[in-house]
Amino acid sequence: MRKSLMILFVLAAALLTVSCGGRIKTARMPLDERFAYAKGLYEKGKYFDAKTQFQILILNNPGSRIVDQAQYYFADCYYQQNEYITAAAEFEKLISLYPRSEFVDDAQYKICLAYFELSPNSALDQKYTYSAIDALQQLLEEYPQSDYVPEATQKLQELRNKLAKKEFDAAEQYRKLGYYQSAIISYDEVLRSFFDTKYAEPAYFWKARAQFKGKNFDEARSTLQTLLAKFPNTTFKQNIKELANQIEQGVREKEAASASNDSNKL
């Protein structure tokens, strides 16, 4: 949940002690004052300096009441600097060390976002996509009342579509090269693992097409029937009609060839 900080920062700037050189003296600042100073740097986008101040707070005040907040902003400085792997590790540390912190679901969501940012396009290795999916599922399972649930659900579906596209594209490549059985295996993987994505509907149709091209007419007919049952308003209706006619023509030709062979044996 997006929380309000327990510490008030009103007039925090007035509490800062300035040296004769114009630089802020932080060594002897009280805890709250130093946190306010670090937070001020963070809000100004000075993440490198803020990160240093939060780290000092964490190291010098391990049992303080604001150490979890310092850890959160310390991790988020890495995130804001696009250092996503380190950011994820530091957010994990917050969850591990301070499981009762009010920032745990915020940290879990930032872990999701970090891996989401690292997730590449579907043609590349999907290691970080799987990491993001795991983190999102953990958020949804462990913090079902979190304010982040709608966003997490949307991102989870987006990532599942990406994985489905990778498998679907592989199937398409096999089919276009004439490797119909390999194509069918990949289409089946889309339908088994990513049945809730936008690639399920076309996977059914092109699976049927691959089965037809491989002269598995009964299987192709069955796949089209399943497609119509699951997607009665499918956008492939005209394609299905044309393919169904081709299947029936293929069946007739196969039966005619079989009958001809039988007569030749007599």
| Residue pLDDT, tens place only, 149-192 | 999 999 999 999 999 999 999 999 999 999 999 999 999 999 99
Non-local (6+) Cβ contacts of 94 within 8 A are 68, 71, 72, 75, 101, 103, 104, 107
| Range with the poorest average pLDDT among 7-11, 82-86, 117-121 | 7-11
What pLDDT, on a 0 to 100 scale, did the predictor assign at position 97?
97
| Residue pLDDT, tens place only, 239-254 | 999 999 999 999 998 8
Cα–Cα distances in angstroms (integers) from residue 46 to residues 37, 42, 76, 80, 81, in the given order: 11, 6, 12, 10, 10
Q: Is there a domain that residue 193 lies in? A: no
What pLDDT, on a 0 to 100 scale, did the predictor assign at position 260?
60
What pLDDT, on a 0 to 100 scale, did the predictor assign at position 255?
80
Beta strands in 145-207 (DSSP E): none
- pLDDT mean over 4-8: 37
| Residue pLDDT, tens place only, 200-235 | 999 999 999 999 999 999 999 999 999 999 999 999
Q: Is there a domain that residue 18 lies in? A: yes
What pTM was computed for the model?
0.82
Compute the radius of gyration of the chain from its Cα atoms: 29
Q: Is there a domain that residue 181 lies in? A: no
Q: Is there a domain that residue 25 lies in? A: yes
Q: Is there a domain that residue 54 lies in? A: yes
What pLDDT, on a 0 to 100 scale, did the predictor assign at position 21?
37
User: Cα(222)–Cα(232) distance, rounded to whole angstroms?
Assistant: 15
Domain, as residue range, for 18: 12-102
CATH of the domain at 61: 1.25.40.10
Reported confidence tier of residue 256, pLDDT bands at 50, 70, 90: confident
What pLDDT, on a 0 to 100 scale, did the predictor assign at position 18?
36
Non-local (6+) Cβ contacts of 196 within 8 A are 157, 160
Query: Per-residue pLDDT for 28 more than 90?
Result: no
What pLDDT, on a 0 to 100 scale, did the predictor assign at position 264?
56
Q: Is there a domain that residue 95 lies in? A: yes
> Chain centroid to CA 159: how far?
4
Domain count of the fold of the chain: 1
Q: Is there a domain that residue 40 lies in? A: yes
What pLDDT, on a 0 to 100 scale, did the predictor assign at position 151?
98
Main-chain phi, psi angles of 24, to 5 degrees: -75, 130
Q: Is there a domain that residue 177 lies in? A: no
